[in-house]
Structure 1
Amino acid sequence: MALEDAGDLVLHIILSKIGPESTARVACVSKRLKGSASEESLWSIFCSIDLNISTPLDPNGDPAPSFKTAYQLWRESFRMYPWSLVKRVRRCWDNLKLWLSLNFPESKATLRKGATEDDLEEFEAALGVKLPLPTRLLYRFVDGQEPSSSSGFVGSLGVIGGYSIYSHAVNVYLLPLKEVINVTNDTLRKLGNASRLNLVVVALSALTSLKLFFLDCTSGQLYTGTSTGQMLPCVPESLVRSVHDINGGDEQQDAMLLWLEEHGRRLQSGTLKVREEGNVKGISLFPELPPSCSVAVTNGVQVRASAVFAPEISNLRQRPPDYWYAYSIRMSLAPEGCFLNGTHHSSCQLYWRHWVIRADGAVIDNVNGEAVIGQYPLLKSGEEEFVYQSCSGSPTTSGSIEGSFTFVPGSLKVPKGSEFEVKVAEFPLKLPDYIF
């Protein structure tokens, strides 16, 4: 049976399956096929699949007269890029924006409107670089985050997020193009790397501690620096395939795109969450799910523990090297309280800690001491977790921490029974494939 002989419903199904490019070619065959290939319901499907839009909008977010026109406007606006790459970058940002809308709208509000091709050309001319196509597209959709007018940075609202250890606080945000120019020039001048014109600073933390992310515009790799200036790749080298040839298609996936896609996956899976400390909200980089996060429950006391690599305080030049990890301990008491010797207690208080720290399986430290960061947390049934952060160094890229806390039922002032030990299950200290 010829295609023209198919019923309207069958023809609609066939066209929706073969995609917009083939549908456009089918429209050239006959008047009937042209009519079928121009149906709004068909192009609404293509717009939904390729662009994730449910109303006809052009690339600037303005209304278009039809879904077909909207699709054509998008294709025309991004004609210099492989369409498969455009769709992939669009999905990356859509996934991030959706998660932010649901979980951290304050951060989403800082995302800037996409840059124009003219903006990108001015940027490249100013720094004398040529951005990899995936990164160009990332900026076409979102030109980084809007800096705060008062402080000059977005504080705890960074899309990437961070962690804190004592007075050391990190929260990473994405720089808009104009800030990339200023920060790159200033940073390379300070580092004495003015000859490395292929590097641009695309993200940073500007809280109490400075953490920078450099994109190598030649290789497409993303780097971050240690305390002594070593550059560590933030994405597995084997995955980075950034070329400037516009015919590269799906082979183009520079580190910036891979980094943001991986970050989006961790957010969507619940591995990372928004946490609030001292009325300040931010995306926490401490993993919340196993195997990166350990969970143990002893007599009704739950302890969750995880760590994140902190390159900005690590020193890999010394021998042995010094890899530093921030770790987060979250402890809480079950609603029914702690259960000891057949009795329920509505509270218990920490008195002692014991840590066993390993590197490549060998014990390198065995720590015993009172309190945690100088505090004796009192846990009460049904209350929120008590959370604290600390840090530990390791001479290797693979290690772990495990241990226990000693609690007293009731409180230290008014104990209700004998001390009991609460397990802290082993959690990894490991140099990650992706560094954030």
Structure 2
Amino acid sequence: MGLEDAGDLVLHIILSKIGPQDTARVACVSKRLKVSASDESLWSIFCSLDLNISTPLDPHGDSAPSFKRAYELWRESFRMYPWNLVKRVTCCWDNLKLWLSLNFPEAKATLRKGVTEDELEEVETVLKVKLPLPTRLLYRFVDGQESSSSSNRLHGTLGIIGGYSAYSHEVNVYLLPLKEVIKKTKEAMRHIGFSSRSNLIVVAVSAASSIKIFFLDCTNGQLYTATSTRQMLPCVPDSLVRSVHDVSGEQQQDALLLWLEEHARRLQTGTIKVREQENIKSISLFPEIPPLCSVAVTNGVQVRASSVFIPEIANLRNQPPAYWYAYSIRMSLMPEGCILNGIHHSSCQLYWRHWVIRADDAVIDNVNGEAVIGKYPLLQAGEEEFVYESCSNFPTTIGSIEGSFTFVPGSLKDPKGSQFEVNVAEFPLKLPDYIF
């Protein structure tokens, strides 16, 4: 039985399976097949699967007369790019925007409308580089974020990559719009010292007080960040920086896209989350779930702990090198309070800390002292976590910290019983595969 002999429902199912390109070819066979291949419900399926749009919209977000026309406009607008790459970039931005809409709309509001091919070519001309195809596509959809210098909304905390803090060292990374890419890259050429022939461009920076810069190498497609001694560290595993090919056969790398895809995955899985402190929200890069975050509950006191690599203050040229990590400790008292000898207490207060710090399984420090960062947190049953951050450096790429806190039930001024130890389960400090 030929296609023309099939019933409308069967034909619809067949066309939906063979995809938009073959459906367009089938439309050239006969008038009946042309009518079937033009069915709006069919093209709504293709738009949903390929472009994740549920209404007929063109690439600029404007209404199109039909799903079929919307699909055609998308193909025409991105005809110079591999279609699978277009779909992949679309999916990446859709995932990030959806998460931001649900969890951090203030940051989503800073995303800028995508740029044109002419604007991309202007950047290439001014900076004398050839942008990788995935990078071009990323900017076609979103032109980075409104920068702190051009918008009061950012305030250094709305970067979609996020950040961390330890003492006075604060980081919050946002994606640069193209005009800032040009400006920051020229500044880097003057102040950091790399040549205009290096093919490095600045694509992301910290909006907070501490300097952290991400460089895209337009020759090999890798994404880098610099240490305090200007050593470039890859932010994506070299083995994963795969090649895709444009229509002319030129190889283009996709490290920036891989980086954003991995970031979206960590957000979607809850590995990292939005943190609100003193009514200021930001994406915290301290992991929230095991195995990167340790969790321990002792006598009703819960302690969660995790770390983040700090490349911008690392010094890997020294012997031994100094790998710096910030670590976050979150402690809280469970709703039932702390339980000692069968007695429930609605509060307890920290008095003492003890840390065992290891590098490559060898103990390199054993710390004992009062308080944490000069504070004696009083935990109340069911209240929010007390959070503090600190930092430490290691001579190796792999280390760990574990220890305990000494608490008193009630408070230090009015103790309700004997001191007790609260476990801090071991958490890793490891040079990550992806650096954010």
The aligned amino acid for 1:43 is: W
SS state at 2:93 partner: helix
State whether structure 2 residue 195 is matched by structure 1 residue 159. Answer: no
Q: 1:358 to 1:321 in 2, by over 3 A?
A: same
- 1:211 & 1:167 partners in 2: Cα distance? 14
User: For residues 221 and 342 of structure 1, what CA distance do their matches in structure 2 show?
Assistant: 58
Structure 1 residue ranges, 4+ long, deviating more than 2 angstroms after superposition = 148-154, 194-197, 241-249
Structure 2 CA distance for aligned equivalents of residues 247 and 413 of structure 1: 75
Between 78-87 and 199-208, report the one with greater CA deviation: 199-208
Residue 101 in 1 paired to residue 101 in 2? Answer: yes
Asked if 1 retains the 8 angstrom alpha-carbon contact of 2:110 and 2:153, the reply is no
Q: CA deviation at 1:187?
A: 1.1
TM-score of the aligned structures, taking structure 1 as reference length? 0.98
- Residue-by-residue CA offset, 1:335-371 (whole Å, 9 max, x unaligned): 0100001100000000000001111111111100000
Q: What residue is the counterpart of 2:199 in the other structure?
A: 198
Q: Please report how far the alpha carbon of residue 2 of structure 1 lies from its aligned counterpart in structure 2 after TM superposition.
A: 1.2
- Assess, with a 3 A threshold, how the Cα gap between structure 1 residues 134 and 332 changes in structure 2: closer, same or farther: same
Aligned equivalents of 2:144, 2:343: Cα separation in 1: 55
Structure 1 247/355 Cα, relative in aligned 2: closer, same or farther at 3 Å?
Answer: farther
Q: Does 2:91 align with 1:91?
A: yes
SS for the counterpart of 2:201 is: strand
Contact 1:175 1:204 in 2 (8 A): yes
The corresponding residue for 2:295 is: 295
Could you tell which deviates more after superposition, 359-368 or 149-158?
149-158
SS of equivalent residue, structure 1 residue 210: coil
Would the aligned equivalents of 2:127 and 2:196 in 1 still touch at CA under 8 Å? no
Q: 1:7 to 1:152 in 2, by over 3 A?
A: closer
Q: Measured at CA, do residues 13 and 77 of structure 1 come closer, stay the same or move farther in structure 2, by a change above 3 Å?
A: same
Deviation string, structure 1 residues 398-432 (Cα, Å, up to 9, x no partner): 11000000000000000000000000000000000
Contact map agreement 1:399 1:429 (CA 8 A) in 2:
yes
1:280 matched residue in structure 2: 280
Listed as ranges, the gaps of 5+ residues in structure 2 are none
Q: Is the 8 A contact 1:128 1:197 kept in 2?
A: no
- Measured in 2, the distance between the counterparts of 1:313 and 1:196 equals 26
Paired position in structure 1 for 2:335: 335
Deviation at 1:152, TM superposition (A): 9.9
Please give the alpha-carbon distance, in whole angstroms, between the structure 2 residues aligned to 1:91 and 1:340.
52
TM-score under structure 2 length normalisation: 0.98
In structure 2, relative to structure 1, the CA distance for the partners of 1:191 and 1:244 (3 Å cut) is farther
Could you say which residue in structure 2 is the equivalent of 1:69?
69
Any conservation in 1 of the 2:355–2:403 contact (CA below 8 Å)? yes
Aligned mates of 2:19, 2:151 — CA distance in 1: 49
Alignment of 1:409-424 (within 5 A): 409-424=409-424
Structure 2 counterpart of 1:239: 240
Aligned partner letter, 2:277: E
1:195 deviates by 4.1
Matched, 1:208 2:241: no
Structure 1 residue identity aligned to 2:227: T
- In structure 2, distance between residues paired with 1:265 and 1:95: 8
Contact 1:356–1:366 (8 Å) recurs in 2: yes
Distance 1:82 1:245, change over 3 A: closer
1:32 and 2:23 equivalent?
Answer: no
**Separation (CA, whole Å) in 2 of partners of 1:406 and 1:39:** 70
Taking the aligned partners of 1:367 and 1:328, their CA distance within structure 2 comes to 17
**Corresponding residue for residue 372 of structure 1:** 372
Partners in 2 of 1:195 and 1:143 — Cα distance? 23
* Percent pairwise identity: 81
What are the superposed Cα offsets for residues 166-201 of structure 1, whole Å, 9 maximum, x if unpaired? 111000000000000000001121112124430000
Partner of 1:182: 183
Q: Distance in 1 between matches of 2:277 and 2:35?
A: 59
Separation in 1, partners of 2:397, 2:309: 10
Task: Summarize the Cα distance change of 1:127–1:153 in structure 2 as closer, same or farther, 3 Å threshold.
Answer: farther
Counterpart residue number, 1:322 = 322
Which residue number corresponds to residue 138 of structure 1? 138
CA contact (8 A) 2:355 2:401 kept: yes
- Number of aligned residue pairs: 435
- Root-mean-square deviation (CA, aligned residues, Å) is 1.4
CA distance in 2, matches of 1:297, 1:246: 57
* Matched residue type, 1:178: K
Deviation of 1:60 after TM superposition, in Å, equals 1.0
The 2-side partners of 1:44 and 1:277 are apart by 43
Q: Retained in 2: the 8 A contact 1:272–1:284?
A: yes
Larger mean Cα displacement after TM superposition, 240-249 or 273-282: 240-249
2:220 counterpart of 1:219: yes
Which runs of 5 or more residues in structure 1 are unaligned?
Answer: none
Q: Distance in 1 between matches of 2:359 and 2:199?
A: 36
Tell me, yes or no, if the aligned pair for 1:403 and 1:426 is still in contact at 8 Å. Answer: yes
Secondary structure of 1:173's counterpart equals strand
CA contact under 8 A between 2:103 and 2:274: conserved in structure 1? yes
Deviation of 1:243 after TM superposition, in Å, equals 5.7
Whether the aligned pair in 2 keeps the contact of 1:220 and 1:241 (CA below 8 Å) is no
